[in-house]
Amino acid sequence: MMILECENLSKNYGSVKALDNLTLKIESGKIVGLLGPNGHGKTTLIKTLSGLLSKDKGKVLIDGKRIGVGTKKIVSYLPERSYLSPEMKIKEVVSFFQEFYEDFDAKKADAMLGELSLDKESKLKSLSKGNREKVQLIMVMSRKAKLYLLDEPMGGVDPAARDYILKTIISNYSEDATVIISTHLIQDVEQILDEVVFLKEGKVMLHSDVDELRMEKEKSVDALFREVFSC
Ligand SMILES: Nc1ncnc2c1ncn2[C@@H]1O[C@H](COP(=O)(O)OP(=O)(O)OP(=O)(O)O)[C@@H](O)[C@H]1O
């Protein structure tokens, strides 16, 4: 079963081709790393799949549906930058998600917040950047979605917390759900990936099973990335 099918997907910003005839198919049940140098289309692709940005050209199907209200219900999206007001308390963020998403599991969110000793009375603005990111990720992973789109989920967090975040991702998605993670922290994330997609200039330059790639190239994904994209 394909969770995602993109065919000749294009998106321009003026004369910049952010996505350039991109074709990509992803099966259900995979954790996929979306990797590429700065400015090569990762965020644009994720925003398009989340329904935040409209495409210029091409076809996109998520779980067989065109992007719209129906796909937003089954896609849980962690944006690169938070859209939550810094004045909100953590408990208000929980209520917000509960109100907006039928598939949100508040008990699960509370349990995870508790594990990290995050006080629900705290305002987001009083938290460190890393803790704010954790709160947001917990909300996104507490939905029972079919497709999780995580744009740089670990940018601001320390290495120990990255491990917690990866554990959170693995333990909170069901076997038939799919997770697409955009990140530059390849070394940290590659242990949990089933597949990688390398984006170059808005196109898919490589899409492979991670184990097969490691065997074939006899190197880690991180080493391969550095070689392919060396400046
Ligand atoms: N709102 C915008 N207006 C104009 N150009 C944009 C806009 N957003 C992105 N771009 C351009 O589109 C291209 C793709 O950007 P995108 O943010 O998708 O890259 P990215 O791979 O996510 O980069 P990074 O790794 O730095 O986050 C870049 O050339 C970028 O400058």
Which of 34, 38, 49, 180, when mutated, tests ligand 1's pocket best, judged by the most ligand atoms within 8 Å of its CB?
38
Predicted pLDDT at 194: 96
pLDDT (0 to 100) of residue 35? 97
What is the distance between the alpha carbons of residues 139 and 142, in angstroms, rounded to a whole number? 5
Q: Three-state SS for 178? A: strand
- E strand or H helix at 7: strand 2-13
Question: Which pLDDT score is estimated for 172?
Answer: 76
Instruction: Average pLDDT across each block of 10 residues of the chain; the chain has 231 residues. List them in order.
Output: 97 97 97 96 97 96 96 95 92 96 94 90 94 92 95 87 85 87 94 96 97 95 95 84
Alpha carbons within 13 angstroms on the beta-carbon side of residue 126 total 10
In the chain, domain spans: 2-228
pLDDT at 224 (0 to 100): 96
Using CA atoms, how far apart are residues 80 and 98, in angstroms rounded to an integer?
21
Residue 43 Cα to ligand 1 midpoint, Å, equals 7
The region that residue 55 occupies, defined by phi over 0 for left and psi between -120 and 50 for alpha, beta otherwise, is: beta
Q: Are strands 75-78 and 195-200 parallel, antiparallel or unpaired?
A: unpaired
What local confidence, expressed as pLDDT, does residue 144 receive? 94
47 Cβ inside 6 Å of ligand 1: no
Residue 59: what pLDDT? 97
**Identity of residue 202:** G
41 C-beta closer than 6 A to ligand 1 = yes
pTM, to two decimals: 0.95
d(CA 170, CA 20): 31
- What does the pLDDT read at residue 79? 94
Residue by residue, DSSP assigns 101-162 as: -TTB-HHHHHHHHHHTT--TTSBGGGS-HHHHHHHHHHHHHTB--SEEEEESTTTTS-HHHH
Answer yes or no: is the C-beta of 85 below 6 A from any ligand 1 atom: no
Pocket test for ligand 1, best of 17, 40, 183 (most atoms within 8 A of CB): 40
Beta strands at 195-200 and 57-62: parallel, antiparallel or unpaired: unpaired
**CATH of range 2-228; options 3.40.50.150, 3.40.50.300, 3.40.50.620, 3.40.1520.20:** 3.40.50.300
Write down the pLDDT at residue 82: 85
